[in-house]
Structure 1
Amino acid sequence: MSSIEADKPRKEISPLLKMALELGPLVVFFFANSRGEWLAREFPALTELGGPIFIATGLFMAATAIALTASWLLTRTLPMMPLISGVVVFVMGAFTLYLQNDTFIKIKPTIINSLFGIILLGGLLFGKSLLGYVFHTAFKLDEEGWRKLTIRWGIFFLVLAVLNEVVWRNFSTDFWVAFKVWGTMPITVLFTLSQMPIIMKHSLEQDNPK
């Protein structure tokens, strides 16, 4: 039975549900930080976590765990990037709450984006366009297309890491949280859309429209 189940194709979920699972924890983080005092009054147990940013961190960790669990139940698989992000969230969130130091949760995006950037660019040194392994089910590109996309995404992740460092070190916690949700996400969406020309140019499916 287990071998038969292992051979089954992974289940697909709707794009909207997938987006909700990915963005949901960030929205929870933003809401909990902006309404931290109200949450503490309504749910006194949350005061054990600390101030608004610590309440937000705790709820962010819980929302991330729920999102990963839901993804597993719906698709019977966990994509590598969300899984790595989730692990970093739990580790840095735990340090943030235990030491009551929000620096750890603030450098979380720096760690994740630097890790992704280094992995993608480092893979090219060994002749591996690792982005192709992640998105091969969504796009069918030739080798040159995957190489170019890998370079671009690797550099983009490193730019996000630097941007996060600039923001959290020079602005307030509330501004950093807002930028994390309403700044980083739109930038990522715009960058993703800007890659469509290269995807269309190197798509293998264009050679065989039928």
Structure 2
Amino acid sequence: MTERQVNGTLKAGLEFGPILAFFVAYLWLKDRIFTISGVEYDGFIVVTAGFIPVFLLSMGLLWRLTGHLSRMQVVTALLIVVFGGLSVWFNDPRFFKMKPTIIYLLFGGLLGLGLLRGQSWLQYVMEGLMPLTREGWMILTRRLMAFFLGLALLNEVIWRTMTEEAWVYFKTFGLTAAIFLFFVLQGRLFRDHGLGTDDDGAGNDT
């Protein structure tokens, strides 16, 4: 199905708004304890419980407006429900903190599996957004696989060794900035392997 075009600001708001809302709510409630049905929940758990429906509502509106959700968005939503739900159910923030690790391991592992088969599954997902040569897709897939696996490791190190607040800052701003920077640094790859360019040196950018 072709994705319908919507206002860029609105689309960005639906994609990133829930994350920023989580961050603001966490800063507001992080030091509070809530007693619900005789059970004490700290601010992180309460904010996580609120984040799940807000995220799903945003994805539902995005799908309604564009008629399309990427596979990555669908998988992310599923993992948010599962791991966020586990954190709330067991009153244990560790499940939600592990979610980015699972997401990046899953995406990195899938890209690696495709590479073992001599395929770029990233091309299958994103070809309409970035027209590249086959060699360009293979290079980008290898790099993104390594990048995702690195983010998974970094998330584990941060949530296990640093404060909860540090992890929230990392989750809200660090991961987003890292992904943005990764694609900015691929400028040469996009230039050398974009369709319509001279492919004679396609194998030189490894």
Whether TM exceeds 0.5 here: the answer is yes
- Counterpart Cα distance in 2 of 1:14 and 1:135: 20
Residue by residue over 1:9-33, the C-alpha shift from the partner in whole angstroms, topping out at 9 and shown as x without a partner, is 3312343333222211211111111
- Counterpart Cα distance in 2 of 1:155 and 1:74: 33
Aligned length: 197
Corresponding residue number in structure 2 for 1:3: none
Corresponding residue number in structure 2 for 1:128: 119
Contact 2:104 2:148 in 1 (8 A): yes
Corresponding residue number in structure 1 for 2:140: 149
- Could you tell me which of 41, 47, 63 is aligned with 1:50? 41
Root-mean-square deviation (CA, aligned residues, Å) is: 2.2
Contact 1:109 1:161 in 2 (8 A): yes
Q: Which runs of 5+ in 2 are unaligned?
A: 199-206
Q: Percent identity?
A: 34
SS of 2:85's equivalent in the other structure is helix
Whether 2:10 is the aligned partner of 1:13: answer no
Deviation at 1:172, TM superposition (A): 0.9
Contact 2:104 2:152 in 1 (8 A): yes
- Counterpart Cα distance in 1 of 2:113 and 2:9: 32
Distance 1:66 1:205, change over 3 A: farther
Determine which structure has the larger helix proportion and give its number: 1
- Could you tell me which of 161, 165, 188 is aligned with 1:174? 165
Residue by residue over 1:164-190, the C-alpha shift from the partner in whole angstroms, topping out at 9 and shown as x without a partner, is 000000011111001111211111111
Distance 1:38 1:177, change over 3 A: closer
Distance 1:37 1:193, change over 3 A: closer
Corresponding residue number in structure 1 for 2:62: 71
Contact 1:32 1:39 in 2 (8 A): no
Contact 2:108 2:146 in 1 (8 A): yes
TM-score (norm 1): 0.86
Q: Which runs of 5+ in 1 are unaligned?
A: 1-5
Amino acid at match of 2:144: W
- Counterpart Cα distance in 2 of 1:105 and 1:132: 30
- Could you tell me which of 105, 127, 130 is aligned with 1:139? 130
Distance 1:129 1:37, change over 3 A: closer
Contact 2:111 2:141 in 1 (8 A): yes
- Counterpart Cα distance in 1 of 2:43 and 2:162: 17
Deviation at 1:40, TM superposition (A): 8.0
